[in-house]
Amino acid sequence: MVELIRLESIDKHFPGVHALKSVSFDLQTGEVHALMGENGAGKSTLMKVLSGILQPDGGTIRVAGNDVTIPSPHAAQALGIGMIHQELALMNDLTVAQNIFIGREPRKRFWRLDEDALNEAAREIFSAMNVSIDPRAEVRTLSVAQQQMVEIAKSLSHKSRVLVMDEPTAALNDREVHELFTIIARLKSEGVGIVYISHKMDEIKRISDRVTVMRDGAYVGTVSASETPISKIISMMVGRELDNTQADIPDLSGAPVALEVRGLSRGKEVQNVSFSLKAGEILGFAGLMGAGRTEVARLIFGADRRDAGEIIVHGKKAAIASPKDAVSAGIGYLSEDRKHLGLALGLDLAANVGLPNLGRFSNGIGVIDDAKLGSIARDYIKQLGIRTPSERQEVRLLSGGNQQKVVLAKWLLRNCDILIFDEPTRGIDIGAKSEIYRLMQALAQQGKAIIVISSELPEVLRLSHRIAVMCEGRLTGILPGGRETTQEEIMHLATQRRVEIGGEAA
């Protein structure tokens, strides 16, 4: 084994955050080196430094024994470092082959691009991967799994000696994961070094040689994957023994049904989804990326038009055709993407809280009673523990967790008793997370009916009284919450596809 990469004492500051604190990392030829840590631990930041997207404030990068600087993604490629991003970085309007070879298209005479050579080269890569994707297909027509394969093909086409994979299996089913691991094994045997970022312990055990753990931007340690028990790795990640808190399931047998959904459908995204939710209940929605969970929420909230299905609120059929209807039926939706969909970032906290409620704060001719709005906003700041200098603070200056609380205040003020949380803790640090959890549990105790959509299984397990699992637009099962359910059971339902991809597209 020869050393491919050595990162030494890498430092990186963002405004207000010390994102990387003197982190070191190395990679040998023919090795899969897993990089683990909770969200926000700095894994992705470190890899962005390695692939030239971010510049470190301090430290040295050595590639194949030489000190280098990596000023751009292009420079990283030239050094043989390829990265497969967590958020797929493909151009939807271009074809598969055009995406793979973007930036280094084969040329013919008269500045022409050699499209045939391009498609042929792409076909060769796919056949070597044992994947059949049409190189001439537009990327927008592919499934998420297929797009993932295109990303991998793209990295392979660079003849990279170092491949960084950031959660490559997030959208893959078991069989596709198996194929990916076969590809990884072959790359390994060819001497490629792979940095593998994942949260899935079984995967780490299966394919990696060494595991490096990061926590809060700092290096924790590097251990051998085969000799270290999972519990040890987890305790390195969380810095404490695993918190085994599970949801306390309240007895809801006497509670009234707050929301019932029957036969909800929209195209391929949502197919015949039915479930019910009681007052005081927290229903978790689990599933892979693109399973249709957010789409279900958007249908219930009236943000998209449904093809079929009934929504019954407190026993009465609700005619929900727009978010306005949903809000008047008492449904609040805390969107996945707070910044784009949930908040007016340039406005202050009070204005955001008042936004869907302005009718109540304005007189006959529509002039807003600022004083009244301000005092209500201050009440919520106290009640929800929002950390802000005042209710006049612009929302964009608040942290993610506090922004989330502002969205929540907005809906509480509107008397919403059915609350849909879509990825409520994405991009929120660990401390603020547990605060949001407590808040949700308190709301449930007050009798609010809550839906939580989350891609983090521990989060779903910790919060949910029952767990609905979706796969490819269908509800594949509803599991009991608490100790009775394991992550494996959820994953099984989340990957229970009706037909394999090939059959469906044909």
Partner 1 sequence: MTMIVQSEVKKRTSSGVHQKLLAFASLIIMLVFFSLASSNFLQTSNIIGILQATSVNGVLAVGVTLVIITGGIDLSVGTLMTFTAVIAGVVLTYLGMPLLFGIVAAIGAGAFCGFISGTLVARMKVPPFIATLGMMLILKGTSLVISGTKPIYFNNTPGFSQISTGSLIGQVFPFLPIPNGVLILFVVATVVAFILNRTALGRYTFALGSNEEAARLSGVDTDFWKICVYSLSGGICGVAGLIIASRLNSAQPALGLGYELDAIAAVVIGGTSLAGGRGSILGTIIGAFIMSVLLNGLRIMSVAQEWQTIVTGLIIILAVYADMVRRQRT
Min CB(254)–partner 1 separation in Å: 45
CB of 11 to partner 1, least distance (A): 23
Binding segment for partner 1 (CB under 8 A), chosen from 81-89, 397-405, 425-433, 475-483, is: 81-89
Span of 137-145, 320-328, 375-383, 433-441 interacting with partner 1 by CB under 8 A: 137-145
The least distance separating partner 1 from the CB of residue 471, rounded to whole angstroms, comes to: 17
The reply on whether position 141 binds partner 1 by CB under 8 A is: yes
Rounded to 5°, the CA angle 381-387-393 comes to 80
- Smallest distance, Å, CB 145 to partner 1? 8
At a CB cut-off of 8 Å and minimum separation 6, what does 156 contact?
Answer: 82, 125, 128, 129, 187
To partner 1, the closest distance from the beta carbon of 110 in angstroms equals 8
Place of tokens 């506090």: 402
Does 72 interact with partner 1 (rule: CB under 8 A)?
A: yes
Query: Residue 83 or residue 490: which is nearer to partner 1 going by CB?
Result: 83
Nearer to partner 1, 85 or 405 (CB): 85
Using the minimum distance from each CB to partner 1, give the nearer residue, 113 or 230.
113
Please, what is the minimum distance in Å from the beta carbon of residue 20 to partner 1?
Answer: 20
- Judged by CB under 8 A, which of 138, 304, 379, 489 binds partner 1? 138
**Contacts for 30 with CB less than 8 Å, ≥ 6 apart:** 1, 188, 189, 190, 191, 192, 193
Q: Does 321 bind partner 1 (CB under 8 A)?
A: no
- Whichever of 131 and 286 has its CB closer to partner 1, that residue is 131
Beta carbon of residue 51, minimum distance to partner 1 (angstroms, whole number): 8
Contacts of 394-399 with C-beta under 8 Å, sequence gap 24+, read 394/345, 394/346, 394/347, 394/348, 394/349, 395/343, 395/344, 395/345, 395/346, 395/347, 395/348, 395/349, 395/352, 396/345, 396/346, 398/349, 399/428, 399/429, 399/432
Binding mask 150-189 for partner 1 (x = CB under 8 A): ----x--------------------xx--x----------
Structure tokens belonging to residue 306: 């449904």
> Which residue stretch of 82-90, 319-327, 387-395, 476-484 sits at the interface with partner 1 (rule: CB under 8 A)?
82-90
3-class SS of residue 446: coil
Q: What gap in Å lies between CA 188 and CA 327, rounded to an integer? A: 54
Tell me which stretch binds partner 1 (CB under 8 A): 58-66, 69-77, 401-409, 477-485: 69-77
Q: Looking at residues 219 to 258 of the shown chain, list those that interact with partner 1 (rule: CB under 8 A).
A: none
Residue 49-68 contact track with partner 1, rule CB under 8 A, x = bound: ----x---------------
Min separation Cβ 313 and partner 1, Å = 28
Whole-number Cα distances in Å, 206 to 187, 226, 242, 435? 15, 9, 22, 35
Number of residues that bind partner 1 (CB under 8 A): 47
User: Please, are residues 311 and 264 in contact by the beta-carbon 8 Å criterion?
Assistant: yes
Instruction: Tell me which of 234, 252, 289, 501 binds partner 1, using CB under 8 A.
Output: 501
Q: Checking DSSP bridges between strand 218-224 and strand 316-317, what pairing results, if any?
A: unpaired
- Taking CB under 8 A as the binding criterion, the range among 144-152, 405-413, 481-489, 490-498 that sits at the site for partner 1 is 144-152
* The 58-63 sheet, strands edge to edge: 66-68, 58-63, 3-14, 17-28, 218-224, 210-215, 32-36, 193-197, 162-166, 81-84
Does 133 contact partner 1 by CB under 8 A?
Answer: yes
Cβ proximity of 222 and 211 under 8 Å: yes
- Residue closer to partner 1 by CB (options 105, 310) is 105
Task: Please identify, using beta-carbon distances, which residue of 57 and 105 lies nearer to partner 1.
Answer: 105
Interacting stretch for partner 1, rule CB under 8 A, among 146-154, 216-224, 269-277, 335-343? 146-154
Quote the CA–CA distance of 492 and 362 in Å, as a whole number: 52
Query: If DSSP codes are grouped into helix, strand and coil, which group holds residue 103?
Result: coil
* Residue 91 interacts with partner 1 (CB under 8 A): yes or no: yes
What does the block give as tokens for 294?
């957010």
Question: 316 to each of 262, 310, 319, 432, how far by Cα in Å?
Answer: 13, 10, 9, 37
Q: Which x/- pattern over 92-131 shows residues binding partner 1 (rule: CB under 8 A)?
A: xxx---x---xxxx-x---xxx-x--------------xx
Q: 59: left (phi > 0), else alpha (psi -120 to 50), else beta?
A: left
Could you tell me if 139 and 94 are in contact, meaning their C-beta atoms sit under 8 angstroms apart? Answer: yes
Closer Cβ to partner 1, 305 or 396, answer by number: 305
What is d(CA 256, CA 261) in angstroms, rounded to the nearest whole number? 15
Q: How far apart are the first and last CA of the chain?
A: 45
How far CA 473 is from CA of 274, 284, 385, in Å, comes to: 12, 16, 37
Which residue lies nearer to partner 1 by CB, 92 or 231? 92
Which of 85, 199, 215, 474 touches partner 1 by CB under 8 A?
85
- Cα 352 → chain centroid: 25
Q: Quick check: 500 binds partner 1 (CB under 8 A)? A: yes
Give residues in contact with partner 1 (CB under 8 A): 53, 72-74, 77, 83, 85, 89-94, 98, 102-105, 107, 111-113, 115, 130-134, 136-138, 140-143, 145-146, 149, 154, 175-176, 179, 500-502, 505-506
